[in-house]
Chain A
Amino acid sequence: MTGDTSPPSTGRRGLIAFSWLWVGAPLAYGLYELVRKATQLFTG
């Protein structure tokens, strides 16, 4: 019903971690910059 429900193999787990890190790292950078800017509403 929902795709693969069996636990992924170690290789696949590594690939999942890598792919989420690939997209998560730049997104975290963007969010960090956003938070820095947003705090100006309260301090500026």
Chain B
Amino acid sequence: MSPPVAPAGWSRWLVPPAALSVHLSIGQAYAWSVFKPPLESALGLSGTQSALPFQLGIVMLGLSAAFGGTLVERNGPRWAMTVALICFSSGFLLSALGAATEQYWLIVLGYGFVGGIGLGIGYISPVSTLIKWFPDRPGMATGIAIMGFGGGALIASPWSAQMLESFGSDSSGIALAFLVHGLSYAVFMLLGVVLVRVPRTGRSPDGEPAALPGPRVPARSAVRTPQFWCLWIVLCTNVTAGIGILEKAAPMITDFFADSSAPVSATAAAGFVALLSAANMAGRIGWSSTSDLIGRKNIYRVYLGAGALMYTLIALFGDSSKPLFVLCALVILSFYGGGFATVPAYLKDLFGTYEVGAIHGRLLTAWSTAGVLGPLIVNWIADRQEEAGRHGASLYGLSFVIMIGLLVVGLAANEFVRPVHARHHLPEPKEAADDRRHQSA
């Protein structure tokens, strides 16, 4: 399948909404928890069982992004968005069938396995296209799309909850909710499939060169460079630090101020979690756009260095000042979002646009690793501290020290990032070289 090439006069401002229609849809994954209690009561599942479709979905996201990246590059964004639409929507339709017939395995297979492939392919589908359309502002362009992934949960969470309230929380109500989700997301994502276009090779529609000449490093070579693995460590440590807060945000703020004169209520803790989501989203677009101005290496120095400082402030003074605790947590979460959104532009700087989507897919294994590592560190340590008779802020002190250490490791890895050696570059295609010669003549 050949990628859809933009006709003359096609505006690049049509590409971000195409990307957003996919990312806002697949971002629903983070709102899966809405379905957990109804599934548990309707199908008699345990908490671990009801989390399985989401967990399998995230595993499949990582695997399909890592292994499907080259296919996405070869077949283009329309193919990738179509695959994402079919997989994500049919995942919901299979789950609807599973809920209606009370066959739980169908929900795991549908939402987790089939839908998870849609998550991975959908996540990387617009990345390289956006970078090619916005070579002057790649951070902003990918920031818009990846902000959509955060925004998807904001939309789906209240929407799914309202639907379950209307249809009922029994198995037929859940089945109907899944069915409506599958059909609605199919229609919504269709905009991306219809609108997405790649710029003409070597030339934009008005005859200018479409992208700056840069390195052309294939994905199979990129994974053999130290730069790739330095960035892998950078992303993994930054995400682990963010998840360290995000995973236990509500109990954490409650524990921190349990012995104070103004303890935090469950309602206020829910408000804190919502604020963290806002900071996560704002960081994706805000920090990623800032990276276009100050450079990718510098922005990661901020994420990792200032992130370590924020964790230090929480560890030392967090339990004495609620505003300080909230502010530091918000900054850390904004860095978490920013780290996700800026990494495609960092990859483009190092490896060029040639197979940046495929390289990005492989790098997302760092996310999967951090997704296991972050919650494991915080929960395991909190449990051990509780067993030792500690309570309040002291449950988290050691976790925070580990997070600071990880961020320092990430900061060091970022310092080791250098331009990729020319032996990994592919030669420039003749057509592009001729175009540049004509431009300069």
Indicate if the CB atoms of A1 and B208 lie closer than 8 Å: yes
Q: Which residue of A lies closest to B194 (CB)?
A: A19
Beyond the given A38-B275, A44-B270, please list 17 additional residue pairs across the A-B interface where CB-CB is below 8 A.
A3-B133, A8-B13, A9-B9, A16-B11, A20-B13, A22-B17, A23-B148, A26-B24, A27-B148, A31-B154, A31-B278, A33-B154, A40-B267, A40-B268, A40-B270, A41-B269, A43-B268
Provide the A11-44 mask, 1 if CB < 8 A to any CB of B, else 0: 0100110011011001101110111011111111
What is B's interface to A at a CB cutoff of 8 Å? 6, 9-14, 17-18, 20-21, 24, 133-136, 148, 151, 154-155, 157-159, 188, 191, 195, 199, 204-206, 208-212, 265-272, 274-275, 277-278, 326
Q: Count A-side interface residues using an 8 Å CB cutoff.
A: 31
Indicate if the CB atoms of B133 and A38 lie closer than 8 Å: no
Sample 30 A-B pairs with CB under 8 A, ordered by A number: A1-B135, A1-B204, A1-B209, A1-B212, A2-B134, A3-B6, A3-B11, A3-B133, A3-B134, A3-B205, A4-B6, A4-B11, A4-B204, A8-B13, A12-B14, A16-B11, A16-B13, A16-B17, A19-B195, A20-B13, A23-B191, A27-B24, A30-B155, A30-B157, A31-B151, A33-B157, A37-B274, A42-B271, A44-B270, A44-B271
Q: Which of B148, B154, B208, B211 counts the most chain A CB atoms within 10 A?
A: B154
Q: Which residues of A contact B14 (CB under 8 A)?
A: 12, 15-16, 19
Q: Which residues of B contact A6 (CB under 8 A)?
A: 9, 206
Give the shortest distance, in Å, between B228 (CB) and chain A (any CB): 27
Measured CA separation A42–B264 after assembly (Å): 10
Sort A-B residue pairs by CB-CB distance and give the 10 closest, nearest first: A41-B271, A44-B267, A30-B154, A40-B271, A3-B12, A30-B155, A44-B268, A19-B17, A37-B274, A38-B274
What is A's interface to B at a CB cutoff of 8 Å? 1-6, 8-9, 12, 15-16, 19-20, 22-23, 26-27, 29-31, 33-35, 37-44
Indicate if the CB atoms of A5 and B206 lie closer than 8 Å: yes
Measured CA separation A37–B273 after assembly (Å): 9
Indicate if the CB atoms of B206 and A41 lie closer than 8 Å: no
Measured CA separation A25–B368 after assembly (Å): 31
Q: Which residues of B contact A35 (CB under 8 A)?
A: 278
